[in-house]
């Protein structure tokens, strides 16, 4: 893919995410033919074009509904929904909530740079209070969206956060997310070098810390405490609930037959019998 | 006592009451019982957007011959509450037999000649166990008047209320029996007499409504995925497919909103399923962004759009043909589409099935445009024979180097799905190259636009001819589309002039290339539509060069009745 003209700025955290994701997929031996990358719109959402895989680069904010359906129609595919914070948490906020509640077996990676890059520097849902932009001229006055706290509140089955300065850790988290059966949220801090002069590499370094080895991600109340920590953002796997059944697994079409619906053939004779039964009460 | 004879071979029964009084239960029980007894039956309802109270009415039209349209006329009326009489007052004539309790007719006022037969339904219902049994007593009365086998109704009741316990079932059976006694008394005492022929062939037919026709047609078209957000009057299709999910292998998901519903269905098609959405105007407005995505990535899509009056929330439970323009112009950018507008239950079944094959073959969105009146109307139709139906699949196995948007002469690129072959399937809402990757190359842009639009010519070749009843040459042609068909057909037959014919379009876009030729044979054209601005006449003008000056429109929220349309046609003919 050497001849691809990449649209990212030099120094963008997206490069590290692409590297971490590719390494994770290679180490887990995910075949490109069996992988579908679903994305929305924005600089982050261009990532499928720089990879060797199937890709559904849909609409701004709408990656998750498409990803849920792709996985449900063919559960044999590995499905990753990936976009930026504006796309997933802003335009697609309702889908974010509903997807966590469904718990499909997909991995949801969010490039979180606390700013809108492609539209040149407006506030994103995760922008911190006081962040000045051409539109938020007096600084952001909204409470920043806290995806980790929201996900824990909805009992998301896997919630993690990483910072792309540490590519290896990001790769390891992505591998855990891919191995997890159910919805896996991976929010990745990723500085925007062009439009966010506040939340820089240094800022993220100063405002994050690694969860200690003894941390138990199965404790939901503790996870919520971590998620709303007012001082610093914790990095690592913050919460897991591996006991939850998946969306696909709960669908009545798959309770007795795991054959993907796309491989089944409709028996028209069965439908004929169904219609004919309508002749008599 | 005055004697009432309904010696017509076509009787219109109207039940009117508040939401929650069980009118729908009566409709369900009797619709099926009439058909199974060999009566031709048409039923439709108009109802308010509320859970309890108000005034709703259901019409059951029983006939010796096939009937498929709603009448203003009421031969037998059951007003189930005080407001009912007022609600249907303009439709009551001296010949209307009104059966119900006196208390409901306190103020007959100037309508002193209104014929009323007192039946103390409330008193009998409370004797049986409560007001909730009133509707079942009425069911019994009607069944007796038409000599419908009591046991049929009782069996149906037992099944319907099986989960509510023995007491309810016992009370319901008593209510039916009491109703029968009352009905039989009316017959034996000669107060009411009815003479409609039963036809054993009708008993062998099926009785379904528009929602069932669309939903079963979807199954016949291989639909195995539906994602939608509940919205009257489109929800019955989602409900039906959800209930058949396990039986026919259909994933049915109630989405968080219509935006998600549309994007899910597109995702399902991408993965190789056959997806659809069902919605109404306001919900479809939210889907238009996704519709444009289907246009851009050349995804097949099937959209059932059940119209109701707008703008905005409009009249949620009422009917209109007001969203034709919306379906035609929805979605930013230019891309081909197909719009079907079935005029009969048979056509709704067949066209919905066809929509899936057509969408798959040409990778375009296909609409099924219905409306509340059509969705909620039942009538008997011959058994649907599936031997002529086929689920056509157009998915290919990909090779290495597969290009999803390979430029082809006719504009259709062979469609692969992920995991089916060695190729990779890349789709992008951005303008893309043949491999599906985003591009800003203007030459590629031009070739992709032209490739997508080339499919319009193929879709035109596949377009369905309008149907014509009556003579072709030199007549006044009454033009209609969608659900107006049966109403217009009966109105035109009533007028009975051999210089008046009827043309119906079950495909409103793209038009068949012979449209201008067919309509050009008319001496005069009259168009009938259920909207205010005659939207289809504009399509005929733009795409067939046909100008229709005489327009009959209806935007009251109720369908045309046969009588109303007959009168309005007579005015202009």
B390-437 pLDDT, tens digit each: 999 999 999 999 999 999 999 999 999 999 999 999 999 999 999 999
Tens-digit pLDDT profile for residues B250-309: 999 999 999 999 999 999 999 999 999 999 999 999 999 999 999 999 999 999 999 999
Reported as a single tens digit per residue, the pLDDT across A146-170 is 999 999 999 999 999 999 999 999 9
Q: Which of A274, A267, A101, A112 is nearest to A186 (CA)?
A: A112
pLDDT at position B101: 87
Residues of chain A with pLDDT > 90: what percent? 95
Q: Is this structure's pTM higher than 0.95?
A: yes
Residue B111: is its pLDDT beyond 60?
no
- The token pair at B365 is 């969105």
Q: How far apart are CA B469 and CA B493, in angstroms?
A: 10
Query: Which pLDDT band holds residue B137 (cuts at 50, 70, 90)?
Result: very high
Interchain CB distance below 8 Å, A271 and B255: no
Q: Is B391–A266 a contact, with Cβ atoms under 8 angstroms apart?
A: yes
Q: Bin A61: left if φ > 0, else alpha if -120 < ψ < 50, else beta.
A: left
Residues of chain A neighbouring B350 (CB-CB closer than 8 A) = none
Residues of A with CB below 8 A from B227's CB? Answer: 65, 69
Residue A1: band (very low, low, confident or very high) from pLDDT cuts 50, 70, 90: very low
For residue range A220-245, list pLDDT tens digits in order.
999 999 999 989 999 999 999 999 99
**Is residue A180 one of the residues assigned to a domain?**
yes
What is the separation of C-alpha B76 from the centre of its chain, rounded to a whole number of angstroms? 25
Q: How confident is the model at residue B4 (pLDDT cuts 50, 70, 90)?
A: low
| pLDDT, tens only, B55-89 | 899 999 999 999 999 999 999 999 998 889 889 98
Structure tokens at B461: 């070749």
CB nearest to B268's CB, from A49, A69, A257 = A69
Does residue B125 surpass a pLDDT of 90? yes
Mutant choice from A40, A41, A54 vs B, greatest count of B C-beta within 10 A: A54
Is residue A275 one of the residues assigned to a domain?
no
d(C-alpha B105, C-alpha B119), whole Å: 12
Q: Which tokens belong to B31? A: 């619709």
**Nearest residue to B528 via CA among B495, B559, B496, B493:** B559
d(CA B571, CA B573): 6
- Chain A CB within 8 Å of residue B205 CB: yes
In a domain, A5, yes or no: no
Reply yes or no on whether the pLDDT at A69 is more than 90.
yes
Mean pLDDT, residues B187-204 taken together: 90
- pLDDT higher for B8 or A186? A186
Residue A159, domain extent: 14-256
Percent of chain B with pLDDT over 90: 83
Residue in chain A closest to B297 (alpha carbons) equals A58
Task: Name B530's Cβ contacts closer than 8 Å, sequence gap at least 6.
Answer: B319, B320, B321, B322, B371, B482, B483, B484, B553, B554, B555, B559, B560
A5: its two tokens: 């003209």
Nearest to B52 by CA among B76, B24, B15, B74: B24
Mean of the per-residue pLDDT values of chain B: 94
**What is the pLDDT at residue A5?**
83
Higher pLDDT, B556 or B164: B556
Residue A267 lies in a domain: no
Q: What ipTM was assigned to the predicted interfaces of this complex?
A: 0.98
Instruction: Mark yes or no for CB contact A253/B250 under 8 Å.
Output: yes
Question: What is the CATH classification number for the domain harbouring A56?
Answer: 3.40.50.970
Report the C-alpha gap between A31 and B313 in whole angstroms: 48
* Residue A268 is assigned to a structural domain of this protein: no
Residue A262 maps to a domain: no
Interface of A with B in 40-59 (CB under 8 A): 41, 46, 48-49, 52-59
Q: Cβ contacts (< 8 Å) between B245 and chain A: which residues?
A: 251-253
Helix (H/G/I), strand (E/B), else coil: B232: coil
**CA neighbor of B560 nearest in space, from B115, B52, B230, B70:** B70
CB-based contact B396:B412 (threshold 8 Å): no
Question: pLDDT tens across B362-398, in order?
Answer: 999 999 999 999 999 999 999 999 999 999 999 999 9
Q: Which of residues 226-265 of A touch B (CB under 8 A)?
A: 251-253, 255, 257, 261-262, 264
A192 touches chain B (CB under 8 A): no
C-alpha–C-alpha distance, residues B221 and A80, integer Å: 30
Calpha distance B25→B159 (Å, rounded): 13
CB-CB contact of B516 with B544 (8 Å): yes
Selected residue of A275, A276, A277, A280 to mutate for chain B interface (largest B Cβ count, 10 A): A275
Contacts of residue B174, Cβ cutoff 8 Å, sequence gap at least 6:
B128, B129, B133
How many domains does chain A fold into? 1
Per-residue pLDDT, averaged over B119-141, amounts to: 93
From B426, B285, B218, B272, select the one nearest A48 (Cα to Cα): B426
Mean pLDDT of chain A: 96
DSSP H/E element including B87: helix B82-87
Q: Which residues lie below 8 Å from residue B325, measured CB to CB, with a gap of 6+?
A: B535, B538
Q: Is position A22 within any domain?
A: yes
Length of chain A: 281
Which of B:421-440 have CB within 8 Å of A? 421-430, 436-438
- Measure B352 CA to nearest chain A CA, in Å: 15
Residues whose CB falls within 8 Å of the CB of residue B540, separated by 6 or more in sequence, listed in order: B479, B511, B515, B519, B527, B546, B548
Determine the average pLDDT of the residues in A138-153: 98
Range B213-228 average pLDDT: 98
Taking an 8 Å cut-off on Cβ atoms, the answer to whether A272 and B425 are in contact is: no
Q: Which of residues 265-304 of B touch A (CB under 8 A)?
A: 265-268, 270-273, 275, 289-290, 293, 297
| B27-57 confidence digits (pLDDT tens) | 999 999 999 999 999 999 988 888 888 889 9
pLDDT digits (tens, 9 = 90+) for A77-90: 999 999 999 999 99
Whether the predicted pLDDT of B110 surpasses 80: no
Provide mean pLDDT across the span B216-235. 98
First to last CA, chain A: 63
Q: Extract the runs of DSSP E, i.e. beta strands, from A164-242.
A: 184-189, 208-210, 233-240
Best mutation site among A45, A55, A69, A265 for testing chain B: the one with the most B CBs within 10 Å? A69
Q: Is residue A148 part of a domain?
A: yes
Dist. CA B59–CA B67, nearest whole Å: 12
Distance CA B292, CA B295 (A): 5
Lowest mean per-residue pLDDT among B160-169, B457-466, B543-552: B160-169
Count of beta carbons in the 10 Å neighbourhood of residue B230: 14
Would you call A54 and B424 a contact, using CB atoms and an 8 Å cutoff? Answer: yes
Long-range pairs for B135-138: beta carbons < 8 A, 24 or more residues apart: B135/B17, B135/B21, B135/B22, B135/B23, B135/B25, B135/B26, B135/B80, B136/B22, B136/B25, B136/B26, B136/B172, B136/B175, B136/B176, B136/B179, B137/B175, B137/B176, B137/B178, B137/B179, B137/B182, B138/B15, B138/B26, B138/B78, B138/B80, B138/B179
Alpha carbons A188 and A82: distance in angstroms, whole number: 11
According to DSSP, residue B222 is labeled T
Tokens of B302: 């099937």
Task: Tell me the β-bridge partners of B254.
Answer: B228
The dihedral over CA atoms of A270, A272, A275, A276, expressed in degrees to the nearest 10, equals -110
Give per-residue pLDDT as tens, B539-559: 999 999 999 999 999 999 999
- Within 8 A by CB and 6+ apart from A23, the residues are A167, A171
């Amino acid at each position: 893919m050497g001849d691809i003209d990449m649209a990212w700025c030099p120094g963008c955290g997206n490069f590290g995410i692409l590297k971490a994701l590719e390494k994770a997929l290679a180490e887990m031996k995910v075949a490109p033919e069996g992988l579908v990358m679903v994305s929305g719109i924005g600089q982050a959402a261009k990532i499928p074009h720089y990879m060797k895989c199937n890709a559904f680069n849909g609409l701004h904010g709408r990656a998750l509904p498409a990803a849920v359906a792709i996985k449900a129609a063919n559960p044999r595919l590995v499905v990753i929904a990936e976009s930026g914070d504006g796309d997933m948490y802003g335009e697609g906020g309702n889908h974010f909530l509903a997807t966590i509640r469904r718990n499909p077996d997909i991995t949801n990676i969010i490039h979180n740079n606390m700013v809108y890059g492609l539209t040149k520097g407006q506030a994103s849902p995760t922008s911190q209070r006081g962040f000045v932009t051409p539109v938020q001229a007096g600084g952001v006055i909204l409470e920043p969206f806290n995806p980790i706290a929201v996900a824990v509140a909805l009992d998301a089955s896997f919630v993690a956060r990483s910072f792309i300065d540490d590519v290896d850790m990001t790769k390891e988290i992505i591998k855990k997310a891919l191995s997890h059966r159910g919805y896996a949220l991976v929010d990745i801090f990723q500085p925007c070098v062009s439009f966010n002069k506040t939340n820089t590499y240094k800022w993220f370094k100063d405002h994050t810390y690694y969860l200690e080895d003894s941390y138990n991600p199965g404790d939901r109340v503790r996870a919520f405490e971590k998620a709303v920590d007012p001082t610093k953002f914790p990095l690592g796997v913050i919460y897991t609930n591996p006991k939850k059944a998946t969306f696909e697994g709960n669908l009545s079409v798959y309770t007795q037959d795991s054959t993907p619906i796309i491989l089944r053939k409709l028996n028209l004779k069965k439908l004929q019998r169904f219609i004919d039964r309508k002749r008599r009460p | 006592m005055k004697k009432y004879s309904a010696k017509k071979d076509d009787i219109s029964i109207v039940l009117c009451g508040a939401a929650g009084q069980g009118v729908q239960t009566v409709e369900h029980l009797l619709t099926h019982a009439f058909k199974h007894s060999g009566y031709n039956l048409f039923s439709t309802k108009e109802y308010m957007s509320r859970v309890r109270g108000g005034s709703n009415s259901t019409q059951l039209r029983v006939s010796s011959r096939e009937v498929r349209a709603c009448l203003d006329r009421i031969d037998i009326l059951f007003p189930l509450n005080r407001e009912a009489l007022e609600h249907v007052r303009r439709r009551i004539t001296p010949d209307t037999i009104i059966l119900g309790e006196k208390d409901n007719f306190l103020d007959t006022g100037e309508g002193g000649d209104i014929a009323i037969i007192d039946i103390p339904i409330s008193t009998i219902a409370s004797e049986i166990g409560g007001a909730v049994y009133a509707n079942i007593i009425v069911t019994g009365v009607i069944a007796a008047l038409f000599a419908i086998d009591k046991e049929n109704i009782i069996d149906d009741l037992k099944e319907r209320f099986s989960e509510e316990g023995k007491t309810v079932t016992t009370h319901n059976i008593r209510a039916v029996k009491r109703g029968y006694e009352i009905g039989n008394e009316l017959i034996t005492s000669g107060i009411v007499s009815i003479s409609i022929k039963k036809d054993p062939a009708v008993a062998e037919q099926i009785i379904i409504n528009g929602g069932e026709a669309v939903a079963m047609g979807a199954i016949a078209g291989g639909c195995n995925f539906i994602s939608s957000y509940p919205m009257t009057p489109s929800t019955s299709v989602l409900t039906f497919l959800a209930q058949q999910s396990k039986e026919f292998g259909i994933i049915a998901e109630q989405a968080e909103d219509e935006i998600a519903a549309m994007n899910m269905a597109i995702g399902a098609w991408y993965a190789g399923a056959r997806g659809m959405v069902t919605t109404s105007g306001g919900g479809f407005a939210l889907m238009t962004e996704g519709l444009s995505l289907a246009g851009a990535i050349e995804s097949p899509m099937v959209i059932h759009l059940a119209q109701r009056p707008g703008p905005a929330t409009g009249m949620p439970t009422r009917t209109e043909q007001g969203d034709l323009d919306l379906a035609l112009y929805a979605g930013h950018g230019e891309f081909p589409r197909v719009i079907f507008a079935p005029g009969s239950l048979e056509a709704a079944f067949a066209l919905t099935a066809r929509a899936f094959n057509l969408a798959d073959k040409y990778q375009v969105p296909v609409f099924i445009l219905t409306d509340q009146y059509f969705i909620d109307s039942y009538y008997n139709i011959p058994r649907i024979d599936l031997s002529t139906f086929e689920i056509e699949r157009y998915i290919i196995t990909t090779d290495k180097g597969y290009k999803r948007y390979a430029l082809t002469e006719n504009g259709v690129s062979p469609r692969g799905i992920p995991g089916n072959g060695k190729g990779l399937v890349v789709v992008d809402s951005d303008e893309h190259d043949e491999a599906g990757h985003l591009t800003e190359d203007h030459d590629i842009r031009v070739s992709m636009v032209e490739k997508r639009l080339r499919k319009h010519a193929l879709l035109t070749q596949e377009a369905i001819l309008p149907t014509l009843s009556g003579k072709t040459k030199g007549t006044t042609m009454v033009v209609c589309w969608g659900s107006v068909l049966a109403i217009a057909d009966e109105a035109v037959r009533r007028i009975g002039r051999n210089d008046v014919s009827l043309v119906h379009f079950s495909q409103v876009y793209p038009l068949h290339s012979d449209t201008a030729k067919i309509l050009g044979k008319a001496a005069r054209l009259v168009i009938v539509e259920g909207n205010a601005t005659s939207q289809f006449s504009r399509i005929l003008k733009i795409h067939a060069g046909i100008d229709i000056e005489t327009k009959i429109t209806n935007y009251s929220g109720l369908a045309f009745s046969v009588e109303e349309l007959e009168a309005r046609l007579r005015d202009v003919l």
